[in-house]
Chains A and B, each alone.
Chain A
Amino acid sequence: MDTHPVLFSAKGIVKQYPGTTALNEVELEVRPGEVVGLVGENGAGKSTLLKLIMGIEQPTSGAMTMRGDPYTPKTPIEANGMGVGMVFQEQSLIQNLTVGQNIFFGLEKPYLKYGFVDKRRMYEDARRILAEIGIKRIKPERRIRDLDFATRQMVEIAKVFSVVTRRSASGNLILLDEPTSVLNDDEVKNLFANMRRMTERGNSVIFVSHRLDEVLEISNRIYVFKDGRNAALLDEADADEAILYEKMVGKTASGEYYKVDRQAVPGDEVLLEATDLGMRGFFGGVNLKVRRGEVVGICGSIGSGKEDLCAVVCGDESYSSGKLVVNGKVRRFSSPRAALKAGVLSIPKERREEGIIAEASIHENIAMSNYKAFKRFGLVSTALEREHAKRHVAELSIKTPGITQSVGFLSGGNAQKVVFARILSSDADVLVLNHPTRGVDVGAKEEIYSLIRDITASGKGMILLGDTLDECIGLASRIIVMKDGLVTHELDAPAGAKPEQLEIVKYMV
């Protein structure tokens, strides 16, 4: 039995990615037999910390310990061997294998008989493990693909539990990343009962969730992360939802930072209007209007449906109910290309994969959304393209040795400016900006904010998914808050009367 007073600790953890610091001097401590809640906005660093604990990635600096000994896992397998396991948000079960095969996946050796897997014995053990965590109705012989989501999650938990307890029945650490997002009330109750059973035996759990009521119900202590730092550590007894909100949102940047003085006053003309728009199983009943010069900010956690709403407006997905009107015509886009033709241009979140052609030159990237403007005698004229690119490179002060430079070699901020040059060169009226400042340094951020003001001043409308809540409020003239696929709140955010983050976050979580 492990009786060290601290099961797991992380001290001074720093994790840097090119261009950003995801975790900055983070501390976390887990005692034997407790549930530690971990909350924070998107991008606060929760998932990054879990990845480090699981050995999927390694910290840039800082130290972790497990039962008092240094803990530096290089792979998830190593972490498992030390009694650390994780239930992933995106599930890691093999669909075409059975429940039993999944529970013992990679650990079949003890069940081999003359080189063949003795499935009967394996299923017996699987049944025992499932029973141990209180699930009797799942048959180990069933294939994962035939199970519903909640059941799959239970299997995943059983699997992780059986993996970490191989070493010893107690003193293990289990990480749960947003495990309740697909569960209904009864299933959540069952999950919590299982978690308590695990902790009663001296195992500990780190519980990450954006549902604060659940975090409060199950956790002994709650860590709040904010922008990759520790923002607070609260005992369950001292915490309530209001306190957690307050700690999560942190301080607000100045209006000057977001160029609020240049925020355009929306015109009357409606460019895009969604009426009772829905995509079955993802979001529903969304009403929104984008007017000339308006920035509509959509706030919500992961899984709130805001990304899916964006995808529908951009033409990546199709809607299943309601109506989408762009420039006076009812539209149902079959592709982003169709959306662009109708006047909706989207700037995707994953810039390197979706927003730029890394191999292509700056001038080619800028011309991409509007080739017909650069045609001469029916062919694309490189000379026109280059001339145009030169002007933009100068205007946006893109730092590059020349316009024939491949965009892949530019820094995050400069690459994003090329993306904005492409927007400015297109004649689309409505822009969908999905995390326009992700992975961009502070200086370039301000330039991008300035560009956003220029673009709206020119009469274009915008739907914005901000990288942080603060950014979304700072830039938007109207804010829509989503939670669990529904709009929970909406309000105006005119220059000089910006809402508080706290006012919005309580509708998000």
Chain B
Amino acid sequence: MDKHGYSSPIAEEFAQEMVRRNKVDRIVAMAPVGILLFLVALLSIVADGFFTGYNIQTILGQLSIPLVMSMGLTFVILLAGTDLSGEGLGGFVGSIVILMVLNTKTDLDMGLWAILIAVAAGLVVGIISGVIHVYGKMPSFIVTYAMSSIMAGFAVLSYRGQPAMSKYEFFITLSRGRFLGIPSLTWIALAIFAISYVLQERTRFGEYVFAIGDNERVAKNTGININRIKILVFAWSGLCIGVAGVLGAIRIGRGEVVIGKDTVFPAITAVVVGGTPLTGGRGGVVHSLVGALIVTIIYNGLILLGVSTYIQAAIQGVIIITAVALSVKRGRKVVTK
């Protein structure tokens, strides 16, 4: 018998292997932070004007929408689902929020209530997607993709083809405002991040999301209402898309369906690059913050380097495939003993 007292050398090998694998896992979990620092260092050297106060403010501004979207998506992806409704739903919420404040098209002028109602619309659509996904037993990607298409239609219908322009003072203040050098919209995004963090770390909801993503059977056997949690996750994602839609509308000052365009892909990339695999159960919102920073910095850097937008899109595609490929657990079995 050996000095560790295992019943056989094979059992001891197994124990050693687990220790080694845990170590590797921990290093891999830190990789996104390393990539972020590397990118900052690299772009500071190769891209003129990257590491300047002005550009850092620009980056923080560009961060706001992907960050907000990725906060909702993180929870969905932790469950091993997806939410693709952002394009249409974000466009819809952005469109109606402008129609409800002081604008060139309607007389509603509801002020802050408009924001509340618009975000609530996002939440309700999220709940509908969740209910169809859970009780209709349909994959979330197809439900939310269809939902995106439906809401894009409603968005154009809401302003009947001619988008409304915002005349709301508060929106203009927000879009230009800064506090401590950080754009106001980014503060809102950071507030959403803070709420997400509390949801993840301090509530039963957050705990159960991890549990369902890791091992649904255990969660079920413990008596957790899995369906309810899943629907709540899509509700939260809908709410985040709603906030992102409002932020988009504030930025461009116009209520148009294009607000949602090209927002989902960067957000999913942010979540996966940050370290939440598409298979769920691991990662979380802090990872996604790092991921959103990576995605935004790459986008910003490519613009500074004068790379064509078509190539930028291609690079995004390569990034997400690489990130997913790295997150897939391949090869020999891990924990089956």
Q: Which of chain B's residues have a CB closer than 8 A to the CB of A146?
A: 22, 26
Q: A75-B221, A95-B281 are in contact. Are A484 and B11 (CB under 8 A)?
A: yes
Main secondary structure of the interface of A (DSSP, over half): loop
Whether B222 and A485, one on each chain, are in contact in the complex, defined by CB atoms closer than 8 angstroms, is no
A4 to B222, CA, bound (A): 29
Whether A184 and B4, one on each chain, are in contact in the complex, defined by CB atoms closer than 8 angstroms, is yes
Is A76 an interface position by the 8 A CB rule?
yes
Is B322 an interface position by the 8 A CB rule?
no
Is A467 an interface position by the 8 A CB rule?
no
Whether A94 and B215, one on each chain, are in contact in the complex, defined by CB atoms closer than 8 angstroms, is yes
Is B13 an interface position by the 8 A CB rule?
yes
User: Which of A146, A317, A484 has the largest number of chain B CB atoms within 10 A?
Assistant: A484
Whether B281 and A96, one on each chain, are in contact in the complex, defined by CB atoms closer than 8 angstroms, is yes
Q: Which of chain A's residues have a CB closer than 8 A to the CB of B281?
A: 95-96
Q: Which of chain B's residues have a CB closer than 8 A to the CB of A186?
A: 5
Q: Nearest Cβ in chain A — how far from B127, in angstroms? A: 19
Q: Which of chain A's residues have a CB closer than 8 A to the CB of B211?
A: 94, 97, 105
Whether A281 and B17, one on each chain, are in contact in the complex, defined by CB atoms closer than 8 angstroms, is yes
Is A145 an interface position by the 8 A CB rule?
yes
Contact of A117 among B11, B15, B17, B203 (CB under 8 A): B203
Whether B15 and A148, one on each chain, are in contact in the complex, defined by CB atoms closer than 8 angstroms, is yes
Closest 7 CB pairs of A and B: A485-B10, A185-B5, A484-B8, A281-B14, A106-B222, A77-B223, A281-B17
A268 to B309, CA, bound (A): 69
Whether A116 and B202, one on each chain, are in contact in the complex, defined by CB atoms closer than 8 angstroms, is yes
The residue in chain B whose Cβ has the minimal distance to the Cβ of A95 is B214
A280 to B13, CA, bound (A): 6
Q: Convert A351-368 into 0s and 1s, putting 1 for each residue whose CB lies closer than 8 angstroms to a CB of B.
A: 000000000000000000
Q: Nearest Cβ in chain B — how far from A125, in angstroms? A: 16
Q: A182-B11, A283-B10 are in contact. Are A96 and B282 (CB under 8 A)?
A: yes
A62 to B313, CA, bound (A): 65
Is B7 an interface position by the 8 A CB rule?
yes
Whether A101 and B337, one on each chain, are in contact in the complex, defined by CB atoms closer than 8 angstroms, is no
12 contacts between A and B (CB under 8 A): A77-B223, A96-B282, A105-B207, A105-B222, A106-B219, A106-B222, A108-B204, A108-B207, A148-B19, A184-B6, A184-B7, A185-B6
Whether B332 and A96, one on each chain, are in contact in the complex, defined by CB atoms closer than 8 angstroms, is no
A18 to B5, CA, bound (A): 43
Q: How large is the interface on A (under 10, 10 to 19, 20 to 34, 35 or more residues)?
A: 35 or more
Is B9 an interface position by the 8 A CB rule?
yes
Contact of B5 among A76, A184, A211, A280 (CB under 8 A): A184
Q: Nearest Cβ in chain A — how far from B223, in angstroms? A: 4
Q: Which of chain A's residues have a CB closer than 8 A to the CB of B219?
A: 94, 106
Please report the number of residue pairs spanning A and B whose Cβ atoms sit closer than 8 angstroms: 113
Q: Convert B303-337 into 0s and 1s, putting 1 for each residue whose CB lies closer than 8 angstroms to a CB of A.
A: 00000000000000000000000000001110011
Q: Nearest Cβ in chain A — how far from B9, in angstroms? A: 7
A95 to B4, CA, bound (A): 26
Is A115 an interface position by the 8 A CB rule?
yes
Q: A92-B221, A182-B11, A484-B11 are in contact. Are A116 and B6 (CB under 8 A)?
A: no
User: Which of B18, B19, B198 has the largest number of chain A CB atoms within 10 A?
Assistant: B18
Q: Which of chain A's residues have a CB closer than 8 A to the CB of B222?
A: 76-77, 105-106
Q: A76-B221, A484-B7 are in contact. Are A284 and B13 (CB under 8 A)?
A: yes
A95 to B22, CA, bound (A): 12
Q: A145-B25, A317-B332, A317-B333 are in contact. Are A117 and B8 (CB under 8 A)?
A: no
User: Which of B10, B19, B331 has the largest number of chain A CB atoms within 10 A?
Assistant: B10
Is B218 an interface position by the 8 A CB rule?
yes
Is B75 an interface position by the 8 A CB rule?
no
Contact of B223 among A106, A182, A211, A283 (CB under 8 A): A106
Is A325 an interface position by the 8 A CB rule?
no
Is A28 an interface position by the 8 A CB rule?
no
A468 to B315, CA, bound (A): 57
A282 to B13, CA, bound (A): 8
Is B116 an interface position by the 8 A CB rule?
no
Is B210 an interface position by the 8 A CB rule?
yes
A283 to B26, CA, bound (A): 27
Contact of A97 among B12, B17, B22, B207 (CB under 8 A): B207
A133 to B227, CA, bound (A): 35
Is B110 an interface position by the 8 A CB rule?
no
Q: A92-B215, A181-B337, A317-B333 are in contact. Are A101 and B207 (CB under 8 A)?
A: yes
Is B224 an interface position by the 8 A CB rule?
yes
Given A101-B207, A279-B332, A486-B10, 10 other A-B contacts at CB below 8 A?
A: A77-B223, A94-B214, A116-B202, A148-B22, A150-B15, A185-B7, A280-B13, A282-B337, A284-B10, A318-B331
Q: Which of chain A's residues have a CB closer than 8 A to the CB of B14?
A: 182, 281-282
Q: Convert A81-102 into 0s and 1s, putting 1 for each residue whose CB lies closer than 8 angstroms to a CB of B.
A: 0000000001011111100010
A94 to B5, CA, bound (A): 28
A182 to B222, CA, bound (A): 24
Q: Convert A291-327 into 0s and 1s, putting 1 for each residue whose CB lies closer than 8 angstroms to a CB of B.
A: 0000000000001010000000000011000000000
Whether B5 and A117, one on each chain, are in contact in the complex, defined by CB atoms closer than 8 angstroms, is no
The residue in chain B whose Cβ has the minimal distance to the Cβ of A116 is B202
Whether B210 and A97, one on each chain, are in contact in the complex, defined by CB atoms closer than 8 angstroms, is yes
Q: Nearest Cβ in chain B — how far from A122, in angstroms? A: 11
A484 to B2, CA, bound (A): 14
Restricting to B25-61, which residues have a CB under 8 Å from any CB of A? 25-26
A119 to B333, CA, bound (A): 34
Q: Which of chain A's residues have a CB closer than 8 A to the CB of B203?
A: 115-117
Whether B207 and A484, one on each chain, are in contact in the complex, defined by CB atoms closer than 8 angstroms, is no
Q: Which of chain A's residues have a CB closer than 8 A to the CB of B221?
A: 56, 75-77, 92
Q: Nearest Cβ in chain B — how far from A383, in angstroms? A: 39
A413 to B222, CA, bound (A): 37
Q: Nearest Cβ in chain A — how far from B71, in angstroms? A: 18
Is A257 an interface position by the 8 A CB rule?
no
The residue in chain B whose Cβ has the minimal distance to the Cβ of A115 is B203
The residue in chain A whose Cβ has the minimal distance to the Cβ of B8 is A484
User: Which of A116, A282, A284, A483 has the largest number of chain B CB atoms within 10 A?
Assistant: A282
Whether B218 and A484, one on each chain, are in contact in the complex, defined by CB atoms closer than 8 angstroms, is no
Whether B214 and A149, one on each chain, are in contact in the complex, defined by CB atoms closer than 8 angstroms, is no
Contact of A303 among B22, B210, B223, B337 (CB under 8 A): B337
